[in-house]
Amino acid sequence: MKKICSFIAISVLVVVSTTISRAVTESKVPTCIKSTFYTNFPYAEKIHWEKKKNGIYLAQFLISENKATAMFNSKGVLVESDIVLFNDDVPLFVLQEIKKEKDVHVVHFAKSVDINHTEHYLLTLRKGKEGFEVVFDQNWKVLEIYQRKDI
């Protein structure tokens, strides 16, 4: 339960902090953060850096044409990363379950890793005007389902 609460707290932090930020050049990003970034994402391309008002650095970049983000604290610790995956990468057995529901469509699929190095999969779905985000663990067990209005 602590992991889920931490995940929710970090997700809220991302939403709030993305509205309060400023772009920075890579030369202004501390060396410890750049070192952690390039160690974890050696194939990153088209990197854009932002510094949040709370001191968190956000990198937005591409990995093999997939959009990705990573957040680092001021000590260079990777707080969270998200890689947007292609909807075609959703496992077949998950798609089969989704198809059992009428008029449900996959909007967004991402892999998220939190500060504890715990992997989650985030699947955003739309049914009519309603949106949902389903959080899975790495074994595809449903952890949480959130209703989302901003889809």
* Rounded Cα distance, 151 and 22, in Å: 25
DSSP 89: G
Q: pLDDT digits over 92-144, tens only?
A: 999 998 888 888 989 999 999 988 888 999 999 998 889 999 999 999 999 99
- Per-residue model confidence as pLDDT tens digits over 47-97: 999 999 899 999 999 999 899 999 999 999 999 999 999 988 899 999 998
Closest CA to 117 of 151, 81, 147, 143: 81
Q: Which domains does the chain have, with CATH numbers?
A: 2-148 (3.10.450.360)
User: Which tokens sit at 119?
Assistant: 């992997």
